[in-house]
């Protein structure tokens, strides 16, 4: 079970890092994408479009490093619920728009059954890692190292 949790944690971390890269590199493109969802007041769109990719990156790096795994996975879970909600609302409205999910990896991906299913599966992985992630290999290594150092182990 630990090995599976480890793989899921790494997979989730990689996905979030990859999802953030293009958005950080091209914030003006992501602003347009967020605005097309028509879910936020126009004044909040630039702030959301600049902030969300950095949150994705930090959560992804934390998952990969095994630092604060449960908290980082909870962040990815909340983000995925928000993203899926926005995608689902716009799909239900019959609006055709670019997902804005993975930029250069999946350019011009339309919101639809495939993107909704994929993100739904990633949400399941995120929930599993949120609930059980600290049991994966390498999770919490920093806090264990600090605890050992404070007790004089390894000095």
State pLDDT tens for residues 30-39: 999 999 999 9
Residue 146 has pLDDT above 70, yes or no: no
Indicate whether 123 belongs to any domain: yes
The answer, as to whether pTM is greater than 0.85, is no
In a domain, 15, yes or no: yes
Q: Could you tell me if residue 155 is inside a domain? A: no
Each as own residue / partner, the long-range contacts of residues 76-85 (CB below 8 Å, 24 or more positions apart, any chain) are 76/12, 76/16, 76/126, 76/129, 76/130, 77/123, 77/126, 77/127, 77/130, 79/52, 79/55, 80/119, 80/122, 80/123, 80/126, 81/123, 83/119, 84/116, 84/119, 84/120, 84/123
Q: Is residue 30 part of a domain?
A: yes
pLDDT tens per residue, range 86-110: 999 999 999 989 888 876 676 778 8
Examine residue 21 and state whether it is found in any structural domain, yes or no: yes
**Is 90 a domain residue?**
yes
Indicate the number of domains in the chain. Answer: 1
Residue 60 lies in a domain: yes
pLDDT band at 28 (very low <50, low <70, confident <90, very high): very high
Q: Which domain, by its residues, includes 50? A: 2-150
């Amino acid at each position: 079970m630990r090995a599976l949790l480890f793989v899921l944690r790494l997979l989730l971390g990689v996905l979030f890092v990859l999802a953030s890269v293009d958005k950080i590199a091209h914030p003006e493109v992501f602003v347009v994408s967020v605005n097309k969802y028509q879910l936020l007041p126009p004044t909040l769109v630039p702030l959301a479009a600049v902030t969300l990719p950095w949150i994705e990156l930090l959560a992804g790096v934390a998952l990969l490093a095994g630092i604060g795994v449960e908290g980082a996975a909870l962040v990815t879970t909340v983000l995925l619920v928000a993203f899926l909600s926005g995608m689902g609302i716009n799909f239900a409205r019959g609006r055709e728009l670019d997902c804005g999910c993975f930029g250069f990896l999946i350019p011009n991906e339309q919101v639809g059954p495939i993107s909704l299913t994929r993100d739904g599966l990633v949400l399941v992985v995120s929930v599993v890692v949120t609930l059980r992630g600290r049991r994966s290999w390498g999770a919490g290594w920093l806090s264990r190292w600090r605890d050992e150092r404070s007790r004089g182990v390894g000095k």
